[in-house]
Amino acid sequence: MGAFLAKRLAQAVVVAFGALTLVFVIVRAVPGDPAKLIVGPDASAGQLESVRSDFGLDDPLWRQYVDHLGGIVRGDLGDSWRLGGSALTNTLERFPATLTLALAALVLTVAIGIPLGMLCARRPGKVLDLVVSTGSLAGQAIPSFWLGIVLILLFARHLDWLPATVDGSPAAVLLPALTLSLPFIGWLARLVRSSALEEGAKDYARTARAKGVPEGTIQYVHVGRNIAIPVVTVLGLLMGNFIANAVIIEVVFSWPGIGSLMVDAITNRDYAVVEAAILTITLSYIVLNLFVDVVYFVIDPRLTPEDA
């Protein structure tokens, strides 16, 4: 298990390095001069020059890149020129809000998606099954910012059931979480459905029927544990997805998370914050994947760490 984890960690470092390089290049390839944004449109050439040298913007790119990597190793991602203070601290302060939102979305997806998929598997080809498979396509085709606005209009304005923005109540998380999860509920339901159908056709399910075990127990217990691996895999991916997708949703709902922070930072060429935010999201992806790998061993008795 130790060797397996070490191997996965080494892979994670490579992935993180790649992500950082990509972000470094893309952020600087985007048109726009950060120095102008910092000092404002009326700044003199001299002021611009001094800001550029303060932030290292006039160094050659390779130099900036090496400094940047060196900083990351020391845990220093530079300062945010807009917010003041360390970019990383600013980012990490906002991270719990994003995590809360993503977790709420995950809980909604699981609580609705899994039973829905099991119901579809019970009667494949019947009405519910068709509704879910069509609905999941529609759900994935709808852009999430539009869905968010529709949900606000419906639940916050017309029905006045739920708060549209952060108002301090725990219910405030419901609308953004629903917006995040809705496209994936049908998707998860379809995955659960097809896995459950495949596993339910296996001999061991027939053995359970031969013992007189009720169909629901066969689905949730006998088949359930065998489809746990594919389901846990996608749940790990989904959680990562939710953290990343939160970028748009947080703006729509003024959710004070890492996503809205990042969008602000991008518009203002606050490179350090953009990079800190993307690094945080990347690392959470990696940690989630690592977590999923470990969960496999808990779920599947046939796996030994050598299988990794």
Q: Contact between 216 and other proteins (CB under 8 A)?
A: no
What amino acid is encoded at 32 in this protein? G
Give the three-class secondary structure for 44: coil
What amino acid is encoded at 257 in this protein? G
**Of positions 42, 160, 167, 203, contacts other proteins by CB under 8 A:** 203
What amino acid is encoded at 1 in this protein? M
Q: Contact between 213 and other proteins (CB under 8 A)?
A: yes
Q: With beta carbons less than 8 A apart as the criterion, state whether 129 and 193 touch.
A: yes
Q: Contact between 304 and other proteins (CB under 8 A)?
A: no
List all residues 6 or more positions away from 4 whose beta carbon is below 8 Å from its beta carbon: 293, 305, 308
Q: Contact between 208 and other proteins (CB under 8 A)?
A: yes
The rounded distance, in Å, linking the Cα atoms of 190 and 129 is 9
Q: With beta carbons less than 8 A apart as the criterion, state whether 286 and 13 touch.
A: no
Which residue lies nearer to other proteins by CB, 140 or 207?
Answer: 207
Q: Contact between 305 and other proteins (CB under 8 A)?
A: no
Residue 95 per-residue DSSP state = H
Site for other proteins in 86-125 (CB under 8 A): none
Least Å distance, CB 233 to other proteins, is 16
Q: With beta carbons less than 8 A apart as the criterion, state whether 279 and 77 touch.
A: yes
Q: Contact between 167 and other proteins (CB under 8 A)?
A: no
Q: How many residues sit close enough to other proteins to count as binding (CB under 8 A)?
A: 23
**Of positions 136, 226, 241, 245, contacts other proteins by CB under 8 A:** 226
Tokens of 300: 């599947």
Which residue lies nearer to other proteins by CB, 164 or 223?
Answer: 223
In degrees, rounded to 5, the angle at the alpha carbon of residue 160 between the alpha carbons of residues 158 and 162 is 125
E-strand stretches of 28-158: none
The rounded distance, in Å, linking the Cα atoms of 115 and 260 is 33
**Of positions 130, 171, 225, 305, contacts other proteins by CB under 8 A:** 225
**Of positions 18, 142, 202, 305, contacts other proteins by CB under 8 A:** 202
Least Å distance, CB 230 to other proteins, is 13
**Of positions 41, 84, 125, 301, contacts other proteins by CB under 8 A:** 301
The rounded distance, in Å, linking the Cα atoms of 266 and 273 is 8
Note the Cα 308 to chain centre separation in Å.
25
Least Å distance, CB 222 to other proteins, is 6
Q: Using N-to-C axis directions, what is the helix angle for 174-200 and 144-151, rounded to 10°? A: 120
Which residue lies nearer to other proteins by CB, 195 or 282?
Answer: 195
Stretch that binds other proteins, among 31-39, 125-133, 221-229, 251-259 (CB under 8 A): 221-229
Q: Contact between 232 and other proteins (CB under 8 A)?
A: no
List residues near other proteins by CB under 8 A. 201-204, 206-215, 217, 222, 225-226, 228, 299-302
